[in-house]
Chain A
Amino acid sequence: MSSLSKVVASLKERFSEVAESEFRGLTRVVVPQSQCFEALTCLKGEFGFDMLVDLTCVDYLNFRDATDRFGLVYLLASMEDNLRLTVRVMLNEPDLTVPSVVPLWEGANWMEREVWDMFGILFEGHPDLRRILLPEEFEAHPLRKDYPLQGRGERHNFPVLTRGEA
């Protein structure tokens, strides 16, 4: 654990606006949007966080006391030192763009496509940012909190392909 606190301390030194918190033994840092790629590069290159365990997003639209709309969550792990670190990046409309981390972790490719698909967050520099789970005609980003559970009728207005047309 001491090594993880060292990582966080030097991260704070390097990047001015890094906020740290801890809950149930998980250390989390919040990195500003403008510095997130540099911070993640530094975490991978210098501190040995060589695995991106997961990349996901939370829409804080109805969350109590939330000031930001979206929170991107990068779950990092270091194989060598057996450490885990959560890096969060807060995003607000209209600037929902962050640099893609595919150059750092190849595994981010599909995770970023899923976040784009579900939340509409653009990853700049992603090699192939298409929808992954939903069809390409789909217009909304359904894991946003302003999207209803029942959908907006997309299911009933789906283009029907008959055997003759196909």
Chain B
Amino acid sequence: MATTTSPPRPDFAKDAREEDYLWTLNFGPQHPATHTTLRIVLKLDGERVVDAVPDIGYLHSGFEKIGEHLDYNQYVTVTDRMNYISPMANNVAWHHAVETLLGIELTPRCKYIRVIISELARISDHLLSTGAMGLDTGAFTFFLYAFYQREKIYDIFETLCGARFTNSYTRVGGVMHDITPLVVEKIRAFLKDFPKTIDDMEKLLNRNRIFVDRTKGVGILTKEEAINRSCTGPIARASGVTRDVRKDQPYLGYEDFDFQVCCAKAGDCFARYYVRMAEMRESVKILQQAIESIPPGPANIGVDERTTLPTKQQVYQTIEGTITHFELVMANRGFEVPCEEVYAATETGNGELGFYIAGDGSDVAYRARCRPPSFIHFATFPHLIRGHTLSDIVAVLGSLNIIAAELDR
């Protein structure tokens, strides 16, 4: 049903006729340096990029439409598949928004568990983005160092919830499992080992002539542009925007932790790499504080509150557990959802990941809008690449950390 018609498209063919010294190059959708499926139509003057027109949507799967048909607990499996390099952070972001809508206050222990998994997810996100950026600019060893540590984070997640990649760990009002001593032990071991790896990684690249030449002064985003173009996260902070949702609108008790917001002024690819490396150190600091002071008590909200799914033991052995389970899973019962709309944001590795949820009284969201940082950052790409050479594209793409699954949803 087309109720309105699209306005006329810009005439690219006319430009090509008039400027016939330019040539057009199709970059992607399958290209090793895009890492995922995205296409850029480049207009080149020799090796210099005159214009770039991104063409996205190859991975569009209608996640927001699915969000209108899955209930608040089920949809977490879809959020795993958005930014699949840090799925835990998406789980936390989704349920943070849901709990804001439902007005649920988490237990202190659950907050700490969520902080721990968010920070692990941030480290794994930054390891992949810096690692892949190094790989694309010719630093293969750096990439292997990063991926070796990512494996350890996957091992921790596997011990925690059974899944390495698509975790679906959070639930409304709690988490799937309480954190176990074995997980704590593994995280401690990781924290002991990991700072040495960051040192090694920084030694490999920070003063590496090839890497610095390829990234310094490339793809500069000024502070004003970063704000005007809605950039958040490490990309905005690399341009000098001192903004972090964890500090500005603290959620999950982030105000209890001592950490710095890492910023740089240059706004180029190197600054974005540098900010990510510095943020990993801050995440380690947060993890060290959190892991040693996880509050005792239950991880999930009590059965009587009727907000969290009870454990199987409670369902089979107590009458309250059985009732709560039925209340929550039956089609016409479930959560008490107000007919309201909320937006709640969390700071993920890539930037501000927020969900705008409209509730209509049923246990399925009426509208589940995701504010995807990749989408908003990729919109700046033509601006960043204009005037640079073809080989700088991989450096800029790597520094923006575009995840096509989140870009297209």
Residues of chain A having any CB pair with chain B under 8 Å: 23-24, 26, 28, 50-54, 56, 58-59, 62-65, 73, 75, 79, 82, 84, 86, 93-94, 96, 105-111, 114, 116, 118, 120, 122, 126, 128-135, 139-143, 146-147, 149
Contacts and interface: CB of A to CB of B under 8 A. Distances in A.
Given A54-B356, A56-B369, A107-B228, 6 more contacts: A24-B103, A24-B340, A53-B354, A82-B248, A107-B230, A122-B4
B4 A75 contact: no
Q: How large is the interface on B (under 10, 10 to 19, 20 to 34, 35 or more residues)?
A: 35 or more
B319 interface: no
A23 B341 contact: yes
Question: Which secondary structure dominates where chain A touches chain B?
Answer: loop
B314 interface: no
With a 10 A CB-CB cut-off, give which of A64, A82, A116, A132 has the most chain B CB atoms: A132
A152 B41 CA distance: 30
A149 B367 CA distance: 13
B360 A106 contact: no
B356 A64 contact: no
A133 to B, nearest CB: 4
A53 B360 contact: no
A149 B340 contact: no
Given A23-B342, A50-B228, A140-B2, A149 B65 contact: yes
A75 B343 contact: yes
Nearest to B60: A133
Contacts of A93: 3
Contacts of B243: 79
Contact of A106 (B225, B341, B361, B409): B225
B213 interface: no
Across chains A and B, which 9 residue pairs bring their CB atoms closest together, nearest first? A107-B230, A133-B57, A110-B379, A54-B371, A107-B229, A133-B60, A56-B369, A139-B2, A58-B367
B248 A143 contact: no
B56 A63 contact: no
